[in-house]
Chains A and B, each alone.
Chain A
């Protein structure tokens, strides 16, 4: 089996672009000083310049300023800092925050952690397509609400929330708004100078950048307390020796994403959805048809179980992921599929395909052929499939 791997799990993490590595290399081998040594020796100044330049490039892509961007170890840390940092800074003003039920684990589990310490949390329901109900959001806000944290786009089903409306609601009520944009940054337009958001979580490794680097955009004058203590790095907002190669690689990765690329990715994704829904019976698209990130497809194959599908696909050199409970270490079915009103069966047979720069159209056709064969074989042995046909 020497077939080329078809990798369709780019939202989990993506292959590094060689050009990113080239941009990072000098900061491993030549300019390796810490940025805080700028007052001690020349190499430190060069390091500082590399870091600042990376910061400026990324801040500009978001529509913010360099002072507003804090580098972190990734989006998990960014969301932790945003939520725990704001709650700590504003705990005298109120003890209630709002998150969506289908947000990613860094947001949800930060909220749950604070909940055990006495914070009140509203977990907003979502509609069948994954969108929150804006009226429900307004109703959930009370005098104690200090923060709304709603993701820009979903990690599993790609649904894009109306961040403009959420921004208006939170501004109107004078509540801070954090948005996890891990799965939308550079794939969708997001500009804080046009749509004000107080805190934005972003990450490098889903756009062919390196792992271990992310950032939190923090609008000027936003009350927030430092979460990781130590030195005074990152404007005294995040201690620890700066990951300058990572930051430089992150900046390079943002420069390499183009609108054409996003169209290219979307075309592959559209073809995959169209072909599967047409060629494989008893399939459903999870998430919103049009309000979805260009890279994401999530389809439920009824009467079969996702881990069995992914294992068969792996034997055919195809990498995807599933929302099935069997697949996860915690044996929990996807909270996103359950959150959009799906049952365990829907989560059980759900498969997520996420595209990236290094995929091509031929791969789409191969994947559809293999998956329709695999699903057919698994259905032949499924007790549910027969029952349904008899009805």
Chain B
């Protein structure tokens, strides 16, 4: 069988580890991408003193990359402190899995963002982080670094696919994102939906406009 996946990806896909959902978890997150439709749900328990992740479970509605990354992330994160776990990147997960197809990066990055969001959820609940920060260019860039450029498998920020970011001031912000793709490009719609999905949920964002080049 010559599938475009490594042995380890297939192993985690066939026998995913730490599947399920913790009861009354300390932190929880669901990250989803409407463009490809995949979702990852993560629940974590954190030791209050050591700040180590004592238990972690995941669920996935997605393709092989999505399931395998969800599975490997739980293995990597378990037993680490939340600060260590926050640093786990898609690259770490991908390397641990023996590589993932570039085009599948956006399905697998969900597990990574889901872990970070679950930790953030824990931190907010336990007063470790203060008021939610206002949406700035820095925040937009951070959020968009979870959107993959399907042409390269790297994120849209690093690959300069985003050419401009405009943010209005005030309580209800409008964000305008310019993308270095024409509207009829085969990936234009996916990228647009993923960008909107990553920003629209924010507390101070009213509208997200995605502009393509002429």
What's the Cα separation between A230 and B190 when bound, in Å? 40
Do residues B184 and A116 form an inter-chain contact, with CB atoms below 8 A?
Answer: yes
Query: Which residues in window 18-76 of B have CB below 8 A to A?
Result: 19, 21, 30, 34-41, 59-64, 66-67
Do residues B62 and A308 form an inter-chain contact, with CB atoms below 8 A?
Answer: yes
Do residues A324 and B63 form an inter-chain contact, with CB atoms below 8 A?
Answer: yes
Do residues B187 and A330 form an inter-chain contact, with CB atoms below 8 A?
Answer: yes
Residue A314, interface by CB 8 Å: yes
Do residues A383 and B60 form an inter-chain contact, with CB atoms below 8 A?
Answer: yes
The number of chain A residues with a CB under 8 A from chain B is: 30
In the assembled complex, the CB of B181 is this many whole angstroms from the nearest CB of chain A, namely: 13
Nearest first, the 4 closest Cβ-Cβ pairs linking A and B are: A326-B63, A383-B41, A383-B59, A307-B63
Do residues A326 and B107 form an inter-chain contact, with CB atoms below 8 A?
Answer: yes
Residue A382, interface by CB 8 Å: yes
Supposing A325-B35, A326-B107, A331-B35 touch, asked if A311 and B64 sit within 8 A by C-beta, the answer is yes
Do residues B37 and A382 form an inter-chain contact, with CB atoms below 8 A?
Answer: no
Chain B residues positioned under 8 Å from A383 (CB to CB)? 21, 30, 39-41, 59-61
Do residues B64 and A308 form an inter-chain contact, with CB atoms below 8 A?
Answer: yes
Do residues A314 and B1 form an inter-chain contact, with CB atoms below 8 A?
Answer: yes
Chain B residues positioned under 8 Å from A331 (CB to CB)? 35-36, 103, 106, 150, 187, 190
Do residues B19 and A305 form an inter-chain contact, with CB atoms below 8 A?
Answer: no
Q: Which of A303, A308, A332, A347 contacts B67 (CB 8 A)?
A: A308
In the assembled complex, the CB of B107 is this many whole angstroms from the nearest CB of chain A, namely: 6
Chain B residues positioned under 8 Å from A315 (CB to CB)? 1, 14
Q: How large is the interface on B (under 10, 10 to 19, 20 to 34, 35 or more residues)?
A: 20 to 34
Residue B189, interface by CB 8 Å: yes
The total number of A-B Cβ pairs within 8 Å is: 81
Most central of A305, A325, A347, A348 by chain B CB within 10 Å: A305
Chain B residues positioned under 8 Å from A384 (CB to CB)? 39, 61
As a 0/1 sequence over residues 179 to 211 of chain B, the CB contacts with chain A under 8 angstroms (1 = contact) are 000001011011000000000000000000000
Residue A58, interface by CB 8 Å: no
Residue A143, interface by CB 8 Å: no
What's the Cα separation between A332 and B103 when bound, in Å? 12
Do residues A308 and B1 form an inter-chain contact, with CB atoms below 8 A?
Answer: no
Query: Which residues in window 358-387 of A have CB below 8 A to B?
Result: 380-384, 386
What's the Cα separation between A315 and B10 when bound, in Å? 10
As a 0/1 sequence over residues 100 to 137 of chain A, the CB contacts with chain B under 8 angstroms (1 = contact) are 00000000000010001000000000000000000000
Query: Which residues in window 320-352 of A have CB below 8 A to B?
Result: 324-327, 329-333, 344-345, 347-348
Chain A residues positioned under 8 Å from B106 (CB to CB)? 331
Chain A residues positioned under 8 Å from B62 (CB to CB)? 305, 308, 326
What's the Cα separation between A160 and B178 when bound, in Å? 42
Residue A304, interface by CB 8 Å: yes
In the assembled complex, the CB of B71 is this many whole angstroms from the nearest CB of chain A, namely: 9
What's the Cα separation between A384 and B37 when bound, in Å? 12
